[in-house]
């Protein structure tokens, strides 16, 4: 790929490799920048909000909030499971 997140090509390639649309993927990250890149191509995003990381709504006013936010990966995964049931 020779690109880094948040280049749109990265998220499109991930979706193609999984044979799904970007809207069917969910980017789970500890970094707001990665979430914003995913959301930019129509991919839902979830944030593991580690101490000291800014929340996306604070980092970019008016940008969509993640579909799930939690302090740990298991807490975010639990929210996503409930959301996609």
Domain count, the chain: 1
52 in a structural domain: yes
Residue at 73 is within a domain:
yes
Tell me the residue range of the domain where 14 lies: 8-83
The answer as to whether 60 is a domain residue is yes
Say whether pTM exceeds 0.85: no
CB atoms within 10 A of CB 52: 5
Q: How confident is the model at residue 7 (pLDDT cuts 50, 70, 90)?
A: confident
CATH of the domain at 34: 3.40.50.1000
* pLDDT higher than threshold 90 for residue 84: no
Do 22 and 43 meet the contact criterion of CB atoms below 8 Å apart? yes
Residue 12 lies in a domain: yes
Lowest mean pLDDT among 8-17, 27-36, 58-67, 70-79: 58-67
Give the model's pLDDT for residue 27: 93
Least confident of 6-10, 61-65, 80-84: 61-65
Question: How many residues are there in the chain?
Answer: 85
Residue 3 included in any domain = no
Cα separation, 35 vs 30, in Å, equals 8
Confidence at residue 59, expressed as pLDDT on a 0 to 100 scale: 59
């Amino acid at each position: 790929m020779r690109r880094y997140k948040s280049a749109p090509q990265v998220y499109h390639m991930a979706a193609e490799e999984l044979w799904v649309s970007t809207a069917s993927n969910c980017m789970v990250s500890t970094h707001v920048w990665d979430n914003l890149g995913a959301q930019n191509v129509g991919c839902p995003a979830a944030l593991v909000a580690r101490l000291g990381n800014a929340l996306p709504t604070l980092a970019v006013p008016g940008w969509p909030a993640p579909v799930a936010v939690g302090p740990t990966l298991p807490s975010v995964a639990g929210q996503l499971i409930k959301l996609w049931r």
